[in-house]
Amino acid sequence: MNAFGIDYQRTLSIICLREGSNKEARFRLVSDGMRNLIPNVVHKDEQNELWGSKALNSKDSRWLTGVNTWEDGSWVAQPESSSFWGYIYRRLYTFLGRVEPVAQNGYQLVVGVQAENYPQVVSAVERICSAAGFKSIMLISAPAAILCRWVAEYRISENRDKLIVVVVAVGDVSTTVSAYELFPNQNQVFPPFHVTNASSPIHISTTGLAYWNAKLLNLVGTKLKDSITPKYNLAMRDAALEFGRYLGKVDSWQLLDWTGPLSQKMYTPLDLTRRQCDGWTEVSRLTLRLPQAIEQALSAITTNKQPDLILVGGVGAVYPFAKDAAAEVGQIWHSANPEEDVARGAAWWHEVGLPWTNLLKEKETASFKSQKPAEIVVPKTEDKDTLNSQRKPKLIPPWKRD
């Protein structure tokens, strides 16, 4: 059976279609018609009803720079989230040639989710997907999806030994760290490993791709006389992603110039080094905490002081910050296209990770039982005004701003 894997983040989503099984499997990214990294945006007015990339260019430009994390998970409950999943369903329906993307037609759906109160967000996403038309879905954590991709695509032909692997899933507004114990599968060639133990997830909030893009684009704005208009939104986001990618390809002291949109209108150039970016508060929230989080996750499943390997992936791993910090603890693995890791891993899940489901579900929910956070309720239409009133930004005095 084929499968769609979806990486569902706070600000963007990535959709991957797997066709076929094992070594014969083929993968294709499904765009919104313009971009593979689909902005989680819906825009409606009297003339237009847009979603994704087209909607982003009609959105207030502060959507890119005024990051609101909704770390309690309430972002899932916004009316826009329900509408967005309706558009995803219609996009897949069209992509398949007017065939419903459901199991009865040979298409499974697995969604990778990253959130601090993971169990409550999962419940909300299940309801949203059901309302959108998806009749049966499976939801997994972002670290589990990254592990699944690595097991499926990078360990097929290698020697099989017991392994202790730590996964660092770098999202757009947070990072999640989990450790796993893997034993060789003696019964069959594929998949090559069983997961026999796992740590509870460790969550590092208010850091990630959206924060780093926002910081960078705010710096771009300081070099311009006029404010950035919405028509530049998509191009500015694309350029920020490429800037982050190039940061990982140059030395830490080497200056990297902003050559993206509006660079010709800057009254002075913007150039940065990776070392300068390391000093951003949005970055140090991750880099100062990550080595400790890796060690904490590791200690939950083994007495070893170092893992055999640290997998660093997810959309935020486009920037080099998590990779550099994790390298201080042990050997790392980092794919050439980390923004695809969660979606591809989710697409592999029924082939590789299905036997791990019960164990991982127990571990992933254990750390939340004592906290008992409030249930996330997907709102009705009439709740929209209430939600909008809750989204007003907190005023911060200028002398306390970064």
Question: What predicted TM-score, i.e. pTM, was given to this entire model?
Answer: 0.88
Q: What is the pLDDT of residue 366?
A: 67
Residue 301: pLDDT band by 50, 70, 90 thresholds? Answer: very high
- pLDDT of 369 reads 44
Residue 19 in this model has a pLDDT that exceeds 90? yes
Helix H, strand E, coil C: the string for 177-207 is EEEEEEEECCCCCCCCEEEEEECCCEEEECC
Mean pLDDT value across residues 258-281? 94
User: Rounded mean pLDDT of 263-288?
Assistant: 95
Q: What is the pLDDT of residues 321-370, one digit of tens each?
A: 999 999 999 999 999 999 999 999 999 999 998 888 888 888 877 654 43
Can you name the residues that pair with 167 across neighbouring β-strands? Answer: 178, 311
What is the Cα–Cα distance from 41 to 51, expressed in whole angstroms?
A: 6
On the question of pLDDT at 317 being above 80, the answer is yes
pLDDT in tens, 376-396: 444 443 343 433 333 333 444
Supply the mean pLDDT for the chain. 86
DSSP-derived secondary structure for 50-116? EEHHHHHTTS-THHHHS----TTTGGGGSHHHHHHHHHHHHHHHHHTTS---SGGGTEEEEEEE--T
Would you place residue 239 in the very low, low, confident or very high pLDDT band (cuts 50, 70, 90)? very high
Q: In the prediction, which pLDDT does 364 show? A: 78
Q: Class of 2-142+373-400 per CATH?
A: alpha beta
- Per-residue pLDDT, 361: 86
Residues 38 and 52: their CA atoms lie apart, in Å, by: 5
Residue 388's pLDDT is: 37
pLDDT for 73: 60
Q: Does the pLDDT value for residue 46 go beyond 90?
A: no
Q: Is the pLDDT of residue 74 over 80?
A: no
Q: How far apart are CA 365 and CA 120, in angstroms?
A: 10
Residues 109 and 95 sit within 8 Å (Cβ to Cβ): no
Q: What are the sequence ranges of the domains in the chain?
A: 2-142+373-400
Closest to 8 (Cα-Cα) out of 126, 79, 155, 114:
114
**How far is 83 from 79, CA to CA, in rounded Å?**
7
Does residue 116 register a pLDDT over 60? Answer: yes
Helix (H, G, I), strand (E, B) or coil at 148: helix
Residue 78 sits at the vertex; the CA angle it makes with 16 and 280, to the nearest 5 degrees, is: 75
- Predicted confidence (pLDDT) per residue in 142-191, tens digit: 999 999 999 988 765 555 678 999 999 999 999 999 999 998 877 666 67
- The CA distance from 310 to 327, in Å, is 8
pLDDT value for 377:
47
Over the stretch 119-151, which tens digit does the pLDDT of each residue have? 888 889 999 999 999 988 999 999 999 999 999
